[in-house]
Chain A
């Protein structure tokens, strides 16, 4: 597939089976009713914490804030050493060096957005330079955005080549491709963009930047999980999925884990193949964790703000 010329790429993507929108919504809603309690809940919470990409993508980010967040990533609950560290810290490229320094020697990865995040409307040279700079600064995971304008205009070849070029610029770093599903207009496009990104070499496909509403939703994540599952069956390579944006509560996080297990399978239930892009989610996970341990509800006053 990767050596396909753009003409047949179009035919290939439009030849993918259409998404049954009502069916997908129904299936996602059904899976959201699963009840996960007691010991299973405790395991799910710890797994969800290990899957969190703790994210700060604000214009007002300072080195101090990134360092504070890195400290929290390594030890989310200072009062409880049994709380596992998160998967990665996700920052803008100029903060990647700060994050890498703060996380040196820990198992927490440094993820950096790149390629003109969040709009992705810069020339390819700028995108590649952005990516190389982030990798050089110590980022081991790159979150790139696709050119939604080109995708919606039907210029799939351009999107494909950009992803492939960024993948090459990443070198050893993992590449997560943000589809920004909130701008893709329909579920069929989400499926097409997922397959396009996977064929172009994405290690992860990610729902959203978090700057556009709607961000991650269970039906969209379900479609993307189906794509990585079928892609592995086709090629043998296992890619991951990362819903990001709008996941704020433990209940939401656990629903995503159920979705992963039921749609893609237990092979995806690990931080290597499933991530949750979030910032406020972590505190809720920690509060629920403390609730299971102590028996009483916690309050936000007991946890750091960022």
Chain B
């Protein structure tokens, strides 16, 4: 019997995640991604400012539907994301190992922490209202209620150095409360972000709620910060660009979160990353005498 021919490898193309689809960059460019030890891993799509624009359009389009869902339903969908990630554990672990230069046991722990982080924020979806809002005691014949509402389209600069856990820790709190997000993934370790996008795409998350771009931060962050249709900006991964981006965001009165150093392994991050992207609406309703 003749030898069976060697199987041709099926290589994966890492693309962007915009509006529920996986397009290549509009510019047609890509850039090499290396492991922490400098070996070539793959070529990732190098997004352009037009991809930023398209992602913002997709996020804006998704916002009314996503914010209009019940909080309970959003929580269910985010929990489903955790389920989908569980099924891709091996892939996530391999990518985290390569990107962070850590061994299998630690990578497994990082993946577990990332999945648990989705579950954590999924649980917050229908509880945050009661923590930040409620009936206010006022002097006068009024029923006075406060409730948090999502800010809108949030630009998120994912942190450098924690391509999976850090990314989940900044994305989940933004979308769980009803915002939609345009995420710029860690420039040097974007592969886990695209694998996460594949989990998002298969988990009932409506198209456009989360959009993930890979590419050079210096090229993508300025148009995102200046975009008039972006309502808020999370500068976690901005590094040296923070100040310039903050100034640029001020031009259109965006909410800006410029956090200090974070410990992504903290299992209970609290509401600190949800509160900045919520607007408190207070309603005064006259009551009978």
A residues bordering B, Cβ < 8 Å? 295-302
| Contact call A296/B229, Cβ cutoff below 8 A | no
| Contact call B229/A298, Cβ cutoff below 8 A | yes
| Contact call A301/B229, Cβ cutoff below 8 A | yes
Q: Residue B227 at the A interface, CB < 8 A?
A: yes
Q: Across the two chains, which residue of chain B brings its CB closest to A299? A: B229
* Pairs across A and B, CB under 8 Å, 9 listed: A295-B226, A296-B228, A296-B248, A297-B53, A297-B223, A297-B226, A297-B227, A299-B229, A302-B228
Q: How many Å lie between the Cα of A297 and that of B56 in the bound state?
A: 10
B204-250, CB < 8 A from A: 223, 226-230, 248
A296 CB contacts on chain B under 8 angstroms: 223, 226-228, 248, 251-252
B residues bordering A, Cβ < 8 Å? 53, 56, 60, 223, 226-230, 248, 251-252
Q: How many Å lie between the Cα of A240 and that of B226 in the bound state?
A: 41
Q: How far is the CB of B27 from chain A (nearest CB, A)?
A: 13
Q: How many Å lie between the Cα of A301 and that of B226 in the bound state?
A: 15
B226 CB contacts on chain A under 8 angstroms: 295-297
Please give 6 more A-B residue pairs, beta carbons under 8 A apart, in addition to A297-B227, A299-B227, A302-B228: A296-B228, A297-B223, A297-B229, A299-B60, A299-B252, A300-B60
Q: How many Å lie between the Cα of A299 and that of B252 in the bound state?
A: 10
Q: Which of A297, A299, A300, A301 has the most CB of B within 10 A?
A: A297
Query: 10 tightest CB-CB pairs across the interface, nearest first?
Result: A299-B229, A296-B226, A299-B228, A297-B227, A298-B228, A297-B53, A302-B228, A296-B227, A297-B228, A296-B228
A295 CB contacts on chain B under 8 angstroms: 226
B252 CB contacts on chain A under 8 angstroms: 296, 299
Q: How many Å lie between the Cα of A27 and that of B223 in the bound state?
A: 35
Q: How many Å lie between the Cα of A207 and that of B226 in the bound state?
A: 39
Q: How far is the CB of A289 from chain B (nearest CB, A)?
A: 13
B229 CB contacts on chain A under 8 angstroms: 297-301
Q: How far is the CB of B279 from chain A (nearest CB, A)?
A: 15
Q: How far is the CB of B237 from chain A (nearest CB, A)?
A: 21
Q: Across the two chains, which residue of chain B brings its CB closest to A287? A: B228
Q: How far is the CB of A266 from chain B (nearest CB, A)?
A: 29
B228 CB contacts on chain A under 8 angstroms: 296-299, 301-302
A298 CB contacts on chain B under 8 angstroms: 228-229
Q: How many Å lie between the Cα of A298 and that of B228 in the bound state?
A: 5
Q: How far is the CB of B155 from chain A (nearest CB, A)?
A: 12
Q: Across the two chains, which residue of chain A brings its CB closest to B222? A: A296
B60 CB contacts on chain A under 8 angstroms: 299-300
